[in-house]
Amino acid sequence: MNKFVFSAVASTVAFAFAFEAAATEWNVSVWGKRRAFTEHVEKLAELVSEKTNGEFTMNISYGGLSKNKENLDGISIGAFEMAQFCAGYHRDKNRVVTVLELPFLGVENLAQEVAVSAAVYAHPAAIEEMAQWNARLLMTSPMPQYNLVGTGEPRMSLADFEGMRVRATGGIGKAFASVGAVPTSVTATEAYQAMEGGLVDTVAFAQHAHLSYGTINQATWWTANLNPGTVNCPVVANIDAYEALSDAEREALDSSIPEAVDHYLANYGKLLARWDSVLDEKGVKKVELSEDVLAEFRTTAADPIRDEWIADMEAQGVPGQELYDLVVSTLAKAKMAN
């Protein structure tokens, strides 16, 4: 090969390598299957690719990169660049965020859930704690209040909850424990088997999860108005990966988050609108507890668990009272805005 041809080939290879190296590809770890819970992650990937003409892409893996309880660990060591996790899976690793899982906070809709989550995520204590895991909080995965599905006779009173084996994590699990139930924190992907095998009598989930994980197919009844709380599931990025982005890539990512969350809310709204028809299709009875029972549940669970959480956080150097007050004040503003 003459020198001219060799030089031309070498230049072409170098250019191709430089072009390839300029592209940014993130691996994203979620779990289960694509569903309402992951629609904002899917939309974020779509928007980022569009804004960068395909030069910044996200490969979303449903369980292929990590177990759901290990996603934060994977972020911390840079095993992947972005992930979704739920605070209740490892409460000791994300103590600040668990304020959003306290029972009976009074959140009424997904927009309010977004507002209180964003306020907590922006708090210096949350940023500092997540930085210990090399994680940057990007957005929440807002879910409606959890409710139970179960088999046999519906649980209509607190006395009926005594000894009830329930799949429930975080503050919701503590709320049930306060009225004599026996919570277990099997992962979402294990809930169907736990219910099928008799490990649990009931499962507490948001609507999309009852569908996605098949627990609705085991159920004979569903509580329409128990509403003990919800879990908080952030989407985070590895800090090193985030800081390695170009200015244009970072702008594409940051500017796409609000639209991705709006897409999630619109999509979830469609699911909620057809929920009653889903119950009818599957022959699941919709039950409502009396206001007296709900008031008794709130009195028994809300105040003691909140006070215990605040005291525990303060003892660990986490500003528990300040975080709880932030949630309350943000929620009040969100309700006024509605």
| 76-112 confidence digits (pLDDT tens) | 999 999 999 999 889 999 999 999 999 999 999 999 9
Kindly report the three-state secondary structure assignment for every residue of the chain.
Answer: CCHHHHHHHHHHHHHHHHHHHHCEEEEEEECCCCCHHHHHHHHHHHHHHHHCCCCEEEEEEECCCCCHHHHHHHHHCCCCCEEECCHHHCCCCCCHHHHHHCCCCCCCCHHHHHHHHHHHHCCHHHHHHHHCCCEEEEEECCCCCCEEEECCCCCCCHHHHCCCEEECCHHHHHHHHCCCCEEECCCHHHHHHHHHCCCCCEEEECHHHHHHCCHHHCCCEEECCCCCCCCCCEEEEEHHHHHHCCHHHHHHHHHHHHHHHHHHHHHHHHHHHCHHHHHHHHCCEEECCCHHHHHHHHHHHHHHHHHHHHHHHHHCCCCHHHHHHHHHHHHHHHHHHC
Structure-block tokens of residue 287? 């039950």
Instruction: Note whether residue 8 is domain-resident.
Output: no
Contact 83, 28 (CB under 8 A): yes
- 235 and 118 share one domain: yes
Give me the pLDDT at residue 193, please. 95
Whole-number mean pLDDT of the chain? 92
Query: Are residues 152 and 252 located together in one domain of the fold?
Result: no
State the pLDDT at residue 89: 87
What are the pLDDT digits (tens) for 274-321? Answer: 999 999 999 999 999 999 999 999 999 999 999 999 999 999 999 999
Of the residues 216, 251, 272, which one is the last residue of a structural domain?
Answer: 272
pLDDT of residue 187: 86
Whether residue 241 lies inside any domain: the answer is yes
Q: Give domain status of residue 3, yes or no.
A: no
- Domain assignment present for residue 15? The answer is no
Residues 187 and 252 both lie in one domain:
no
185 in a structural domain: yes
171 and 52 together in one domain: no
Percentage above 90 pLDDT, the chain: 87
- Please tell me the distance from the alpha carbon of residue 306 to that of residue 328, in angstroms, as a whole number: 12
Quote the pLDDT of residue 268: 92
Shared domain for 103 and 235, answered yes or no, is yes
For the cut 50, the answer to whether the pLDDT of residue 7 exceeds it is no
Are residues 125 and 42 located together in one domain of the fold?
A: yes
Q: Are residues 54 and 186 in the same domain?
A: no
Judge if 131 and 239 occupy the same domain: yes
Residues 161 and 281 reside in one and the same domain: yes
pLDDT digits (tens, 9 = 90+) for 115-162: 999 999 999 999 999 999 999 999 999 999 999 999 999 999 999 999
| Co-location of 187 and 100 in the same domain | no
Which pTM does this prediction carry? 0.85
At 185 the pLDDT is: 84
User: Residue by residue, what is the 3-state secondary structure of 44-72?
Assistant: HHHHHHHHCCCCEEEEEEECCCCCHHHHH
Q: Are residues 185 and 154 in the same domain?
A: yes
Least confident of 9-13, 139-143, 223-227: 9-13
Query: Does residue 288 lie within any of the structural domains?
Result: yes
Pairing of β 135-140 and β 182-184:
unpaired
Within this chain, do residues 173 and 257 fall inside the same structural domain, yes or no?
no
Please state at what angle helix 247-273 crosses helix 275-282, rounded to 10 degrees: 50
6 lies in a domain? no
**Which residues on neighbouring strands pair with residue 49, listed in sequence order?**
none
- Name the token pair of 95: 């103590």
The total of structural domains in the chain comes to: 2
Using the 3D structure, point to which of 219, 243, 272 is the last residue of a domain.
Answer: 272
- At 332, the amino acid letter reads A
Last residue of a domain, one of 216, 250, 272: 272
Question: Distance between CA atoms of 338 and 329, rounded to whole angstroms?
Answer: 14
The domain in which residue 87 lies consists of 25-140+231-272
In a domain, 130, yes or no: yes
Query: Could you tell me the CATH number of the domain that includes residue 160?
Result: 3.40.190.170
